[in-house]
Structure 1
């Protein structure tokens, strides 16, 4: 689970900002270019992670909240100060160290949330590409860990690896799920 946080200057609207939208609506090369531009031009940005083991331990919702808090902490560390206010994608109540507002489908309607989604997606995709080398056969470089038919077939054929969430039904249902592998170092 990866979350992003981006601080935009309140009175500046650079030209590149008009290209920022929900990360799922952008091609991978465009996402990478926009993420690079974001990282080099905004006042601050951050990325937060929740490990597979954390997701399995506390559930996806709590892990998402944890990743969001970590993203805001990373942004604060880069900025040298915590944010004054945060716009959060979704509707769930959270606990952050600053005032915040939730926006349902915020990645489609709010530029700063969309920018954060781009930064997070690029970070996650890069991580999954490294996992493809560590765990050949699952196609992580192409499926990015999503349950595509090819990924589910590999899961059935190879059994789960340390990158799989055991709280995910297809992993739990696998005959070899009880043989849970030791995780590799996270390295991020």
Structure 2
């Protein structure tokens, strides 16, 4: 059985010594034009392993959903943090993302001693933290966070799709695909859009 510090699935990552509870953090939705940016924080249970963890983008939707449920069931703690479209517009996407990550970490029922964050920058936290580029494909906890964040935000988009089926949110997840930009141009801007993102701002200027 693979352990946290020695696994054949991931490239080598040396965990710092002396930490009891390690949380992984990742976010989804920075590049979307609509909806919240969603962050997840996960503290795994080293005695209750989860096979198949990986960067959520490398997994099929079916596999992500299966792992999402397993992570919820087996982890010591998991939590979601969000920043709304209004916060994104007021603060900018980077600052809003940092706040979503903070909210996820502080919502954990188990306080981590160390937080490992996907990317090259992380939020200010009251505990030790390390940012790791491509952490979602190197670190089990961050991979788990990437899966939970991705599935949660996809569910958001599915719910929004029920309200506005003509926009196709369940398919493009709010990202600026050619089809999405075409329907935005045709239908206009709904409340859930991020008003300061260029394609949305451009469409609003026509109204």
Q: TM-score, normalised by structure 2?
A: 0.78
Q: Structure 1's 84 and 132: CA in aligned 2 closer, same or farther, altered over 3 A?
A: same
Residue 45 of structure 1 deviates from its aligned partner by 0.6
Number of aligned residue pairs: give it: 171
Question: Which of 44, 64, 79 is the matching residue for 1:8?
Answer: 44
Q: Where is the helix percentage greater, Structure 1 or Structure 2?
A: 1
Residue 34 of structure 1 deviates from its aligned partner by 0.3
Question: Which of 13, 33, 53 is the matching residue for 2:66?
Answer: 33
Higher relative CO (Cα under 8 Å, sequence separation at least 6) belongs to 2
Please provide the CA RMSD for this pair. 1.5
Question: Which of 81, 88, 93 is the matching residue for 1:48?
Answer: 81
Question: Which of 128, 135, 139 is the matching residue for 1:110?
Answer: 139
Residue 93 of structure 1 deviates from its aligned partner by 4.6
**The residue matched to 1:137 in structure 2 has which SS?**
helix
Gapped regions of structure 2 (runs ≥ 5): 1-36
Q: Which runs of 4+ in 1 moved over 2 A?
A: 176-179
Q: Structure 1's 177 and 159: CA in aligned 2 closer, same or farther, altered over 3 A?
A: farther
**The residue matched to 1:173 in structure 2 has which SS?**
helix
**The residue matched to 2:104 in structure 1 has which SS?**
helix
Alignment pair present for 1:67 and 2:100:
yes
Q: TM-score, normalised by structure 1?
A: 0.86
Residue 162 of structure 1 deviates from its aligned partner by 1.3
Are the equivalent residues in 2 in contact too, given 1:50–1:63 (CA < 8 A)?
Answer: yes
Are the equivalent residues in 1 in contact too, given 2:41–2:145 (CA < 8 A)?
Answer: yes
